Every structure is written in structure tokens, then in C-alpha cells.
């Protein structure tokens, strides 16, 4: 696998097939990127598991923290590593001791370890490096274009607002709907004036 660029079908296949995601380095601090990614993926129906030994005894969005991957106690489809590159190999080595093995190891933006990736791929685990599943989900499901970002189309026509239960292009149901207060006001004002 060329880890400098990933085909959309590779990323889409991962996001459509995994159900449980253990996020190593998850934080309950609501201004941290891991918090936003955890919340976003949980709202899209993924079974999220926060892994961080510093927060054992606490929970993140109702999900109790565990100290390590071994403490999860059930199969994990994907491990999302929210640690810097120097901490990736130990996480991958711990993942390789799990039974059953995870299907995917995902390294967040800025994180890359080619040796760890090769070790995981040698036993059949898919690997993604230097990407964020939240961003990739938003891009591939077209949720980003609902906000007017990266739609690749210039138009004065507003895209339909996602609703709860709406089928997304990643074959997952929207839970949160992707609404914002600003977009709600615009939609309300538009309907009142027409």
C-alpha cells in the first residue's frame, strides 16, 4: 500500500466495514481534537471506546475509559491512534497481541510510522497513516459540502440539510444531522421569506 495517497474506495471500504473503534489517546477535554473526532464518529453510529490510562474511572460521552487495548475485553474493528509518531510502535505491538486482531490501524493527522505499518500489514491488518477518520468521513459522505466546504461545485443553490435518519453516501445513518445554529437560522429565514 502506498501510504502517501489512499484511493477513496480504500478509505470508504474501511469506514463502511468497521463498527467498533478504540481511540488510543482519547481525551475528555472538549477542546482537544480527539474529543471532536470521538464525538463525531460516535454520532455517526460507531461503537467508540476511549483508551487513555490517565482517565480511567472517567467516561467520555458515556463511554468508560480503559487503560489499554487489552482492557477493552471484546473484539475491536479499528484502532485510531491519537498519539504522536514516537508512540505508535508500542500501540501497534499491543494491537498485534489482541485476539482477534483488529481489521484496521488508523494513525491520525501528523502521525506516521512505516515500520509499525509494515508490521501490521504483514499479518493482514489494513493501515491508514496521517489521516483523520472524522475528516475522511465528512469528505466521503459529503457532509463537508453541507457546510459549503470542498464541494467542488459553485452554486447559489443551497444543498439540502441533513436530517436524522438520512442515508449518507457511506451507507451509515446520520444521528446528529450535521446541523449548526447558523445554518438553522438561514434555513428558517429562507422558509419564512418564501
CATH assignment of the domain containing 120: 3.40.50.720
By residue range, what is the domain housing residue 152? 142-185
Contact between residue 39 and residue 132 where contact means Cβ atoms under 8 Å apart: no
In a domain? residue 151:
yes
In a domain? residue 3:
no
d(CA 162, CA 180): 11
Count: domains in the chain:
2
Pair 95, 179 in one domain: no
Contact between residue 28 and residue 58 where contact means Cβ atoms under 8 Å apart: yes
Q: What is the pLDDT of residues 35-45, one digit of tens each?
A: 999 999 999 99
Q: What is the pLDDT of residue 126?
A: 98
* Nearest residue to 140 via CA among 178, 105, 171: 171
Where residue 89 falls (left for φ over 0; alpha for ψ -120 to 50; beta otherwise) is: alpha
The whole-model pTM stands at 0.77
Q: Which three cell numbers stand for residue 92?
A: 501497534
Q: What is the pLDDT of residues 46-100, one digit of tens each?
A: 999 999 999 999 999 999 999 999 999 999 999 999 999 999 999 999 999 999 9
Task: Round the CA-based radius of gyration of the chain to a whole number and report it.
Answer: 18
Contact between residue 18 and residue 78 where contact means Cβ atoms under 8 Å apart: yes
Amino acid at each position: 500500500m502506498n501510504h502517501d495517497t489512499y484511493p477513496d474506495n480504500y478509505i470508504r471500504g474501511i469506514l463502511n466495514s468497521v463498527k467498533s473503534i478504540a481511540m488510543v489517546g482519547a481525551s475528555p477535554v472538549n477542546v482537544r481534537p480527539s474529543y471532536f473526532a470521538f464525538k463525531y464518529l460516535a454520532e455517526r453510529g460507531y461503537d467508540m471506546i476511549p483508551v487513555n490510562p490517565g482517565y480511567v474511572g472517567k467516561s467520555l460521552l458515556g463511554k468508560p475509559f480503559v487503560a489499554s487495548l487489552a482492557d477493552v475485553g471484546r473484539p475491536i474493528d479499528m484502532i485510531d491512534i491519537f498519539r504522536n509518531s514516537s508512540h505508535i510502535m508500542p500501540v501497534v505491538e499491543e494491537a498485534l497481541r489482541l485476539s482477534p486482531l483488529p481489521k484496521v490501524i488508523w494513525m491520525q493527522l501528523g502521525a506516521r510510522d512505516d515500520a509499525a505499518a509494515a508490521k501490521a500489514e504483514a499479518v493482514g491488518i489494513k493501515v491508514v497513516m496521517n489521516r483523520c477518520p472524522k475528516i475522511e468521513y465528512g469528505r466521503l459522505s459529503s457532509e463537508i459540502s453541507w457546510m459549503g466546504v470542498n464541494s467542488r461545485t459553485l452554486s447559489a443553490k443551497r444543498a439540502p440539510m441533513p436530517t436524522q435518519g438520512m442515508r449518507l453516501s457511506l451507507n451509515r445513518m446520520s444521528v446528529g444531522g450535521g446541523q449548526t445554529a447558523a445554518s438553522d437560522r438561514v434555513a428558517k429565514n429562507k422558509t419564512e421569506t418564501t
